[in-house]
Amino acid sequence: MTDKKFHLGWFMNFTSDLWTGPFEQGGGTPWDGQFYVEMAKNLERAGFDFIMMEDKLAVSEAFGGTKEAVLKHAFGMVPKHDPAPLAALISGATRHLGIVATLSTLGYPPFLLARLCSTIDHISHGRFGWNIVTSAENAAAQNFGLDQLPPREDRYAMADEYMDLVNQLWDSWEPDAVVVDRQRGMHTDFTKVHEINFHGKYYKCRGPLNTAPSPQIRPTFLQAGGSPRGRDFAAKHADAIITIADGVDGMRDYRADIRGRAAAQGRDPDQIKVMYLVIPTLGETTEEAQARRERLVTSQAFAEQSLSLLSSITDIDFAEFDLDSPLPHLTTNGEQGSLDKFQQSGSGKTLRELVYDAAEFTSSYPLIGTPSAVADEMEWLMDEVGGDGFLITLHNQGVSRRHVIEVTDGLVPELQRRGVVRTQYTKQTLRETLREF
């Protein structure tokens, strides 16, 4: 088995926790963030590298042309609150855990995003990360004065320029600009704070940033690159890349592709951590775990939740298709990678069969069984693909206290006994923690 430690992150939303089952009495209220603070403390106790908060900027009506499904189920979708204040709240209640917030280049002017990230990085003492997204929903674009999203290739061109601008803003203060010299009566040396006078095709900004350099200077960058253009973007910018790869071969091929793209851009591939999304389904026996998964994925509610979520991120109305008829091959200007993962299991299958087969479509590999059996699979996967770690989540981006405890108090101790994940933190910043091994 692997002799190298691997990293663990958790992917979630500032949204309703599960609320319909016998062990699920949530629903989000009160919306004061304390449920997620408790969650983060559990993850820190288990030695996770980071907690990562997904976000969307609209109430989707992509499924059936109505907001009914997303509001009816809530599960992972709506209500959904701003992750940035929650990141600051969690940072004040933890000491080591990285906190990653999804912030869209669509929703934040570059100066405002650079200032916000710098501020939270200060508050967290260097533990803040930015999950870089461009947003993939026309409904989100319409909340910001656009009729529809620009084409995907244009969005990436805009995102590259956006990254150039925010990086210049973070560098607009030299590292030693703040001197706090009482004898000279000088807090900051003005000769070391510089305008950037950025004039691009899409953005223009004078600068400098008006926040002091943060512990990491810039936040740790996370990104999910699916398309070839997206992979180039991730390989150019990201400290860690999250992916929904397709099984062992897909995981191995994706990592090799990213490392090759990074090297071609002059980056050290070892400085980019590739982390695979997985959904562990745990039980005291493998049969119990399999039965839990079967009950979930065969329910009508699960099918509707899955398809409404997929509609919201792809802008394809899956309510237009008969559940018991074959699904034609589809393309989208939204999240094409998620769509490909959903429909890749073969032509000729009905939509209902695809929902069942793709119950793990937010998972790179099925992990079902006892903590010991799942730990075996995770070790084996790292040996097979040479990867860097896992980003754990729940079906349809849900959040569950029970699921968190099963992982932190069942699965992680099993991995720690094998010496394959951390038992203590030794670094201060999130970037240092990710690069520790």
- Residue 22's pLDDT band (cuts 50, 70, 90): confident
Q: Determine if residue 285 is labeled as part of a ligand binding site.
A: no
- Residue 340's pLDDT band (cuts 50, 70, 90): confident
What are 402-433's pLDDT values in tens digits?
A: 999 999 999 999 999 999 999 999 999 999 99
- Residue 52 DSSP code: E
- Whether 253 has a pLDDT exceeding 60, the answer reads yes
In the chain, where the domains are located: 7-434
- Whether 25 has a pLDDT exceeding 70, the answer reads no
Q: Which runs of consecutive H residues, i.e. helices, occur in 103-175?
A: 110-123, 138-142, 152-170
Question: Which one, of 419, 398, 422, 423, lies nearest residue 281 by Cα?
Answer: 398
What are 199-219's pLDDT values in tens digits?
A: 999 999 999 999 999 999 999
Rounded-to-integer distance, Cα 214 and Cα 175, Å: 9
Q: Determine if residue 105 is labeled as part of a ligand binding site.
A: no
Are 432 and 129 in contact by the 8 Å Cβ rule? The answer is: no
Q: Is the full-model pTM beyond 0.75? A: yes
- Residue 27's pLDDT band (cuts 50, 70, 90): low
Name 373's Cβ contacts closer than 8 Å, sequence gap at least 6: 286
Q: Determine if residue 119 is labeled as part of a ligand binding site.
A: no
Which two three-digit tokens encode residue 406?
């099963």
The residue written with tokens 């069984």 in the block is 369
Rounded-to-integer distance, Cα 181 and Cα 233, Å: 42
Q: In this structure, how many other beta carbons lie within 10 angstroms of the beta carbon of residue 249?
A: 11
- Whether 329 has a pLDDT exceeding 90, the answer reads no
CA 317 to each of CA 64, 111, 303, 309: distance values in angstroms, whole numbers, following the listed order:
6, 35, 14, 10
Instruction: Please tell me which residue, 305 or 384, carries the higher pLDDT value.
Output: 384
Q: Determine if residue 156 is labeled as part of a ligand binding site.
A: yes
- Whether 344 has a pLDDT exceeding 80, the answer reads no
Look over the chain and give the mean of its residue pLDDT values, rounded to a whole number: 91
* Phi then psi dihedrals of residue 130, to 5 deg: -110, 120
Q: Where are the beta strands (DSSP E) in 14-168?
A: 50-54, 98-104, 128-133
Is CATH 3.20.20.30 what the domain over 7-434 is classified as, yes or no?
A: yes
pLDDT at res. 334: 67
